[in-house]
Amino acid sequence: MLDRCFFRLLSIILLVVSVISHANSQNNLYEDCKKQFQCGKIADLGYPFWGGNRQESCGHPSFKLNCTTADSQPTITIQSWDYRILDINNPSKSITVARNEFVDNSTCPTSPQNATLDNTLFNYAADVANLTLYYDCIELKNNTCDTAANNTSFNFYVSTSASNRTNTVLGCNSSAIVQVNQTSGEALLSNSSSIEVTEAIDSGFGLVWSANDEACRNCVKSKGVCGSNANNAGAFICHCPDGDDSEICGSNRFPLGMTLGIGLPIILLLVLGIILGVYFFKRKRNGKTTRSTTAAIVAGNTNVEQFMKNYGANVPKRYSYRQIEKITKSFVDKQGQGGFGTVYKGKLPSGQLVAVKLLKEEGGDSRDFMNEVESISVTSHVNVVSLLGFCYQGKKRALVYEFMPNGSLDRFICDDPSLRLELKLLYQIVIGIARGLEYLHQGCATRIVHFDIKPHNILLDEEFCPKISDFGLAKLCKKRQSTMSTMDQRGTIGYIAPEVSSRAFGKASHKSDVYSYGMMVLEMVGAKEIKDDDQTSEVYFPDCIYKRVVKGKDLQLPNATTEEEKELGVKMILVGLWCIQINPLQRPSMCEVVKMLEGNVDAMEIPPEPFKFSPSRAVINDSSDSSSLLSGIQSRNQE
């Protein structure tokens, strides 16, 4: 076994020598990228542009030109909008463009919209004016445009940034801002007929670009050619004549040929010496030590490819980092930021909206990341978020989820009264989360314990249907396994079950999620705002709530006005108090939680005091008056 490894290493060394020797020959990228190219009618093009027969390594990733035929105008896509290129001036780094859909459809596109501009790469030239087209204006009959899509006519009114006319035109149903040359815009003040407007738009407007300018200047000074690294997410690279591409050519190093001629023999001798030393050292080790060492290496290696092989068709799609950039349009629409990374809004090629969580790069441990991918890959439930794909490329890691328009639950249980949801809707959300957890604990082929249930990890779709997300701390175990070991504290302060922090309270299990769920339910119903008569700032709020429930006092929930809402609030508080019992054995399962939430509040038992292990239970029997529920609780406890 060891002899085979030795000869394999020798084969690898010979292969490396062959590759390096081949790299000493003429650099094909350098030769290809230093040539100028033609795209449509525009010739003599170079960096940062690419497209057609010119490969991406010769340009900037965001400067791709769409070349159709030799006699056509090329187009470029900026922030998902297509622009027709009329002229390119390399010395001034400026281009003249026109909105493609307006050129093709005259002044009457099917759905006129305002285009956005990527200001990190492009800026408007100094002589650009805004032209506003107002469509379907009832009071203006002088200008019309015909749309081929539905053969209907729309009146339009023109206003430029240099005009003294008001930009608000009564009776107009839609508008669009189009950029034009300032001279053309000023000419429209005296004549804004359909023909004149079309000519103004067709003449285009100017943009100036900036693409790794300083790095490219340094590269050219070092006799290199500017380009990008296809193996490193399109980062800038300087293609050099000797084949040793880097930031600049010839920087504090020998030419590659000299390096190979002088340094390669020395490097090979050193490598062979190390291999021989390891070889003879390994031979002295007994077979048991060798086997245990090999097993430890294999066990400690997180292999994404092996994961994908194990899960087969169930594994989400794997994206490259370049694809993630395209999905998020270079991360322009930021949705939120947390301790593990930032969430951006994106769109798949199919048109589906997604949320992309881009994880921070620090730290090389991929355990939590792959754990989240593995956990969600085995789930399918209406109350569990769907993972559509992931990216694992070097230090770049990202998760692609279905997009939730209403964001996370914490937005709606804050101190802002305008954002608070009705208690009936909160009650439905509470039931949905309980069903999702019941599925994770009992419905999956493998039990999943989340370990980080909190409002930030509950997402809401357009109909406020809750979905459990963020499985980075989750653990998978056998369905019959009641407890599990945790080597580190998992969860968020304020929601962590006591047994997760200290073994003195028991062992961590699926009941740890129940505790976190109970704390979240009490927070959702507004229990933190309930004050007891003798409460101080040091009193823990579940104690206060429990005393008021036992004493039969009005809980005075912040968003409960009707008797029905008060009853729902009491039901949620009783469920929450049951779930946060210190002793995990006294907490209900999520199946029992769902039954309590869907059942009659009068049939619910009063939970033990949260911080006592074995309290007696008082049962609420038949209540003759459901509108005075708390009075009924009080009277039965006095019995």
Task: Please give the residue that has the higher pLDDT: either 540 or 254.
Answer: 540
Question: For the chain, what are the domain ranges?
Answer: 2-23+256-299, 78-209, 305-402, 409-638
Task: Let me know: does 436 contact 459? Beta carbons within 8 Å.
Answer: no
Best-predicted range by mean pLDDT (73-82, 230-239, 610-619):
73-82
Residue 589 gets which letter from DSSP?
Answer: P
Long-range contacts of 544-549 (CB under 8 A, 24+ apart): 545/573, 545/577, 546/577, 546/607, 546/609, 546/610, 549/573, 549/574, 549/577, 549/606, 549/630, 549/633
CA pair distance 453, 455, nearest whole angstrom: 7
Task: Please give the residue that has the higher pLDDT: either 498 or 625.
Answer: 498
Task: Let me know: does 198 contact 135? Beta carbons within 8 Å.
Answer: no
CA pair distance 607, 626, nearest whole angstrom: 19
Number of neighbours of residue 588 by Cβ within 10 angstroms? 18
Least confident of 122-131, 300-309, 381-390, 501-510: 300-309
β-pairing, 81-89 vs 75-78, is antiparallel
Token code pair at residue 461: 């779709």
For residues 156, 162, 166, 169, the Cα torsion angle rounded to the nearest 10 degrees is 10
Task: Let me know: does 431 contact 597? Beta carbons within 8 Å.
Answer: yes
> Does the structure show a pLDDT above 60 at 600?
yes
Compute the half-sphere exposure of residue 106: CA atoms within 13 Å on the CB side of its CA.
Answer: 14
Supply the mean pLDDT for the chain. Answer: 75
Task: Please give the residue that has the higher pLDDT: either 635 or 542.
Answer: 542
- Segment 321-366, tens digit of pLDDT: 999 999 999 999 998 887 678 899 999 999 999 999 998 876 545 6
Coil, strand or helix at 273: helix
- Segment 75-109, tens digit of pLDDT: 998 887 888 999 998 888 899 998 887 775 556 66
The pLDDT value recorded for residue 473 is 80
The pLDDT value recorded for residue 616 is 33
What is the chain's length?
A: 639
Angle (deg, nearest 10), helices 304-311 and 367-377: 10
Task: Let me know: does 450 contact 440? Beta carbons within 8 Å.
Answer: yes
The pLDDT value recorded for residue 106 is 57
CATH number of this structure's domain 305-402: 3.30.200.20
In CATH, the architecture of 409-638 is: Orthogonal Bundle (1.10)
If you average pLDDT over residues 365-381, what whole number do you get? 75
> Is 44 labeled as catalytic in the residue annotation?
no
Number of neighbours of residue 352 by Cβ within 10 angstroms? 11
Coil, strand or helix at 503: helix
State the DSSP H helix or E strand holding residue 513, giving kind and residue range, or none if neither: helix 511-524
Q: Which of 175, 261, 240, 285 is nearest to 27 (CA)?
A: 240
Catalytic residue among 242, 244, 452, 513: 452
CA pair distance 452, 372, nearest whole angstrom: 12
Compute the half-sphere exposure of residue 531: CA atoms within 13 Å on the CB side of its CA.
Answer: 6
Q: Which of 266, 277, 259, 293 is nearest to 9 (CA)?
A: 277
Number of neighbours of residue 244 by Cβ within 10 angstroms? 21
Task: Let me know: does 525 contact 572? Beta carbons within 8 Å.
Answer: yes
Task: Let me know: does 493 contact 466? Beta carbons within 8 Å.
Answer: no
The pLDDT value recorded for residue 101 is 77
H runs (alpha helix) in 24-154 = 28-33, 100-104
H runs (alpha helix) in 554-628 = 563-579, 590-598
The pLDDT value recorded for residue 140 is 54
Query: Quick one: pLDDT band at residue 17, thresholds 50, 70, 90?
Result: low
- Segment 140-152, tens digit of pLDDT: 544 545 433 333 3
Compute the half-sphere exposure of residue 552: CA atoms within 13 Å on the CB side of its CA.
Answer: 13
Radius of gyration (C-alpha) of the chain in whole angstroms: 33
- Segment 49-75, tens digit of pLDDT: 999 889 888 999 889 999 877 778 899
Least confident of 165-169, 350-354, 428-432: 165-169
Task: Let me know: does 541 contact 613? Beta carbons within 8 Å.
Answer: no
CA pair distance 633, 628, nearest whole angstrom: 9
> Does the structure show a pLDDT above 70 at 133?
yes
Q: For residue 203, which phi and psi values (nearest 5 degrees)?
A: -75, -15
β-pairing, 317-319 vs 387-393, is parallel
- Segment 257-299, tens digit of pLDDT: 444 444 566 676 677 777 777 766 666 654 444 344 333 323 3
- Segment 533-578, tens digit of pLDDT: 554 444 566 777 777 776 666 666 767 778 888 889 889 999 999 9
CA pair distance 198, 109, nearest whole angstrom: 12
pTM for the full predicted model: 0.50
The pLDDT value recorded for residue 246 is 78
CA angle, 497 as apex, 496 and 501 as ends, to 5°? Answer: 80
